[in-house]
Structure 1
Amino acid sequence: MAIQHSILFLIFLLQFSSLQFPSLGLYNLQHSYLISCGSDTDVQENNNVYIGESNPSYPKTTFTKTTVEKNESTLLSPLYQTARIFNSQSIYEFNTFPNNTYMVRFHFLSISSPTDLSTAKFNVSIPGFSILQNFDAKNTTDSPLIKEYFVKIIRKRFRITFTPQTSSFAFVNAIELFMLPIHFIPDDIERFNYISPDGQALSTYNGGLLSLETKHRLNVGGNNVNRENDNLLRNWLPDDSYITNPQNANNRSFNGDIKRTANDEYDGPNSNKYIAPDIVYQTAKESKDGSNGLNISWSVPVQKNTDHFVRFHFCDLFNPQPRLTSFLLFIYDTYVRNVNDDSRLSDELHDPYYYDFVVRSDGTGLLKITVKPNVTDNVPKAFLNGLELMKVIELSGSIPLDDLDSDSKVNLPVVVGSAVGGLVLVSVVVVVFLWISKIRKQRPVENSSWLPVRAAAGWSTHSRLTDGTTTQGSPLPNINLGLKISLYDIQLATDNFNAEKIIGKGGFGIVYKGVLKKEKSVAVKRSEPGSGQGLPEFQAEIMVLSKIRHRHLVSLIGYCDERFEMILVYEYMEKGTLRDSLYNTNLTSFLSWKQRLEICIGAARGLHYLHKGATGGIIHRDVKSTNILLDENLVAKVADFGLSRTGPLDQHSYVSTGVKGTFGYLDPEYFRLQQLTEKSDVYSFGVVLLEVLCARPAIEPELPREQVNLAEWGLFCKDKGILEDIIDPSIKGQIDQNSLRKFSETVEKCLQDDGSDRPSMGDVLWDLEYALQLQRGAIHREPHEDSSSSASVSIQLPNVRRFPSLSTLSEIDDMSIGRVTDESVNAEDSVFSQLKIDDAR
């Protein structure tokens, strides 16, 4: 009976705590700031209450020289009957939940008043971003103008600053600020296809902290959708003025139910009720029948040469059963994907879904979008239900990321709320601890987090790696629990994931520099909190690095999988990535040719150990210059094992798997046959070697077409005898010609189309060590000698065989003891001193 009372009390506390901490409960728009600026009373608009500035719950402000204008005309919505005017820089400050994405809206209407509001000229900024620059209010006289933004707020408090231009003023009628559902807009929008200005599809988009400005929101095939009909108070406009070939399309509508299988928090690519309202999915433009159906195209005005986040909404209203959708989507004139409902998470008919892209606009000022029937599959229809387009706002160097959390001045309601919330949370933890200890006799829950616990995670310290109910299947076997680090310790190490600690970003997430206990510097790689994406990579990284140790592989210090977090902690690499050291213009020093060779040798040793030294063999599958890190002594270490695979690794075997990797480095044979071998890593490493020689990216779209792909261009130059023309000018005078010849031959062998023609990583390592000896002058050759020929060697020394690298052997042996001694660093010298021949190949 006492246990039942404890459970009931726990439920009550959780329900009560959600009043103080909105991210503990289901998403609710009422957890928001809706402000009627300049008003003495609360007003209603679209069944929402906007608080007046005299209300006690009104946020903290820093105003100087402000006035209020009023026009109580019954023709105006109450929201636009008042306005706050700023004659000098003024600030609104809001209490927020850190590390969440918020919607920010400003309402502007130049109401009739003693001050001519239409003459206002001003700027609006938020921490890190200038979101409204040189705003001119002249277009706000006839109807309200709403400016809408999506921002990632990383602090506990958030400031909006209005700055009038010289001899002018600023004003605003209303402000909305509310937290969006989890993953409504992805953090840093890095996990989506990126379409370059010429239409080339690149692998991922690498942007900064998230800030987007809504430019267009279209209800395709339908009428205007007003704010009161949208769960997030958005306007959707008809698309008719943007379609370029209306004769090819029919407007279609649907009066039935939209059957959503997505939950209210996150179930992408399915659409929940916050992604878009039913009314958007109940209308569409459908291609008319031609011989195989007709294309439909739209041209939407955008800012030139700027990144835009684009979301496409689809719901099949036309087919009698699910899984029949199939047509092609184009951005500009580039095919970007086959639209079909096979990617959805349910078999429900009329279940809406969406796709996201980041698109770099070209110089025309128009973004072209086309849906095209799938002629190959003989499906004559194509359609589109909705389109959203948002401009990516870049970080502003002149606007700091304010550190508001350190401010000790907090108003009384916040103090009281925090105290009550803290008491509730402590009570919850105590009850959970006692209940679990008594009933399940398990260890107590782990340290509580500083961050608000996301609704998807509930109030659990759930571990993804040991729970057999995860979407990935069975629990991860043989996980090294000794490497587990508490979330609390990681938050301490990174100052609660302070944005100032960010040192990099990648496909898995953001990387922070941190300091663990005992002053140990570490790199902390954090996946998007609460996301199911990246779990296989997270598991693979732990499985690989918890089993192996090598001087030239980045060491895993530990991991954290509390509260649906996925965090990996590595040794900190002072010099960053090889890519940065090669061609980051912010660096004042450049790597010498000898240093570059030593770095390549180190990376080759690490990869060779993966292929041959680890039990079962490991294929890295994502070898590139950003995954080779350098410590303070420029010792190279291979990193990022999230895509790694184990399997049979003799030269006649392969692992069948879907293609993953990075464009520009992908083995063409693997891409073509989907058969992964260790020679796939060899190809990718060959591209890295060319990067080292030429100091340019693997893919550079701005160059002439024949030069875009470094591997293809490098082989062409090698074949034409003009390789020296593309060498990095900073090292061109340093390179010994014999060393260059040996190095370029190694590159050429690595980049062979047929994997069986490529050398093993051990062969590559030996060749690189030999090129280094040639550079050092330890082995003397005449410049005219062809290093590719070993005929003279075989005649002079018929019994000499090629020795493996002693450094490689010593480090493979170290696998069992988990450490590598420093004695192997110069072991290649001893290898070549034993040979004492011009060439051993």
Structure 2
Amino acid sequence: MAGTARRPLLVLLLVAGFAAVAESKLYAPADRVLLNCGSTTDALDSDGRRWVADTNDNMWLTDSGKSSLMMAADRMDNGLPSTVPYMTSRVFPTESAYNITVNPRDRHWVRLHFYPSSYNGLPAEGFRFDVVTSTGITLLHNFSVYNYAKALSQAFVIREFSLPPTPAGFLTITFTPTPPGNETYAFVNGIEVISMPDIFADPATTVGFADQTVDISGAALQTMYRFNVGGLYIPPSNDSGLTRHWYDDTPYVLGPTQGVIYKAGPHFQLKYLSDLAEYAAPPDVYLGSRSMGSDPRLNQNYNLTWVMPVDGNFTYVARLHFCELLLNRPNQRAFDIYVNNKTAQADADIIGMASEKGVPMYRDFAVYVADEPGDEAMWVALHPSVALRPQFYDAILNGLEVFKINDTAGNLAAPDPDPSRLLAKAELGAGDHMPPKIHRHRHIATVMGSMAGGAAALGIIAALCVVRRQEKGKKELQPAGGSHTSGWLPLYHSHTSGKSSGHLAANLAGMCRHFSFAEIKVATKNFSESLVIGVGGFGKVYRGVVDGDTKVAIKRSNPSSEQGVQEFQTEVEMLSKLRHRHLVSLIGFSEDAGEMILVYDYMEHGTLREHLYMGGKPPLSWRLRLDICIGAARGLHYLHTGAKYTIIHRDVKTTNILVDEDWVAKVSDFGLSKSGPTTVNQTHVSTMVKGSFGYLDPEYFRRQQLTDKSDVYSFGVVLFEVLLARPALDPALPREKVSLADYALLCQRNGTLLDVIDPAIKDQIAPECLKKFADTAEKCLSEQGIERPSMGDVLWNLEFAMQLQDAFEGQGGSTICGRRPMGEGSGVGGSSALDGNVMSSTASVTAVETLSASRPRVVIVEEADDDEVANSAAFSQLVRPTGR
């Protein structure tokens, strides 16, 4: 295959840079019940939706709650999108039921929300249960939320069902621990029962039998996947009143040729043919698309394919949403639609079906998926029509949904996933450069899960699950005479072969040391528990010694968690190319003997957080805290401006700011880092939401548009954390105090911030220094990213705050606080965001000119060594422009 075909074809085409806005009818549900289970108060979630306490008049539970318990989660996972409804639960030791009055003529969404935590000391593993409805539908059977979430690396689980009308006028949802009398419990955190229009009234075409259909109007359905194809996540609040989640489809697009993403301009108008069409999907789904691209020769030799693992022994409906946004004549773009390697529709021509562009439509295709190894997946593929010889050899899709139909016994349940065996086999296959097989995994993926990372992991697993069928699928779907061999390989390499795959080592030769597993075992005394200095989502961190006397921190992945594969590769590739005084240095890595191990410089004083609270260590002085903040800001500013491309950390928090033996702050943990925009026309990177709850930029969370200002928001939380010495989230506090960001902003605006400052430093802070520091933190937490300062501005303001502290104490100096010169690459710390001048990390400053009383301009006239820059008198004047 030519080299051109091997390269990814993903191109973002943003017309006018804005999302189009179209008028659409807002659906008003007759029934809208959102129960915050186990809570005594009503509350809003992160989308602004109100959840009512299930204790209101005890009207929801059939026995007024007498046989159930109200419990709070013992801990809060950073991946939760909101405390509501996940931090309280209703726990059932015996069979119990909710009884909800509903309109007997309407279909209803039923969504069950689960957070797999321990509750009041009851372990998460102890919850296993059935869920059935009064209409005879089994929603869940012998279900373990803990096993399910652990297998798929999800922080929480949402199961969404669409139930047909209930003539009795009430819906009973019964929870039963399984097996009965075995010290197991049932639980639920939140329940939604919401009326919906009958968007399943029309039958679905049976794949492979064009003259046969499947009636789904009276069926119960479970939502397996729902994608805004080529677009960003759409929250329930933006879904025309139907409150659905629409996810990014990128993790499920197979192979390197992922097509072209197109977004309609701001004045594009949709033309709906019926009221029902307006409710099928929100306008944003139809105003964007993924197509194959402009190369007809390439397009004829590949298929635009989505692969989604599902449960065997069920019939599924694949709903494909279409809207032509560019063309306006028949046979300009026609294509074939394949579902599970069978022709679902030949010669599909959107204009031919709709008569004009801008008309939303969808097509439903039903297919049975057998319960056999290798077949438990849904494949949807598009290929340009050869028979019609259209003007453009291309295909297009705007949205995609997959629904499971209940079987003849009224069952929608499937066993818990068991991906451990699957992933091990997949990794073995990847290491041998052979496609891994699909094994019996039973519902290995669903899109209804954690938004903060789960979908990316599922996409990787989905790709691994289906590579075996890749060649077979392509052979069946390609036109006669066409050939195409994919250059796609899994995103990671063998960790189970007993020897290094050599891929990382080869790529990073000369930049990063490759340790043998034997060296690592010696360094950690065979991973002695006495040397463990920390535990994270990736695994344990050990203190160790290499080369006789070099102290190191060794982070070893947890082999049972199956997390961190992509993070491992990102961390190695990022840190091997970055060297800065305020970034933790990666010494090397090991991928031998089925391990993923990272070796860093040892940070003697650990994390910033353990010196603020819950670490049992003496409190830091205010001056040292401020100095650590300045150091961390320098490291982040270097990431944003000093590297070849902007690097966005994406997980800035006090546990990722480490302190060495000289109290030099260093930013660590680059597993979630992302390269920023690479052209001047790009303002953001569209990506799935990842990060730590409590530090997460709300704009990034809502729009899935990542910018360097997302790091600025997180750093603003860190600044208040340093000032107040309390966690970013503390569910044990009253509601208004749970979120540090919200509470600190409230105190700042009410003028009561001084009352909540850490008592250990309260009397050490100069008033003007406190004002500058708090104002900076407040600006970092601005709701809109455009209103936040750059990290360079944050750094300058923190340095100025230190000068104010110095002036108050009467301690001047030519370097910051008269302590240390700034280190490697810190020249970027003096860049002026005001006038657009940015100084590279190797430039020396020979002139500083005052723009105003508070802002210098940098004039760069020559290149010099970093150490010379750091120690030059001109540089000292730059970072402390006193006496100018």
What range is the shorter-chain TM-score in? 0.3 to 0.5
Structure with the greater alpha carbon radius of gyration: 1
Identify which of structures 1 and 2 has the higher relative contact order when contacts are C-alpha pairs closer than 8 Å and 6+ apart.
2
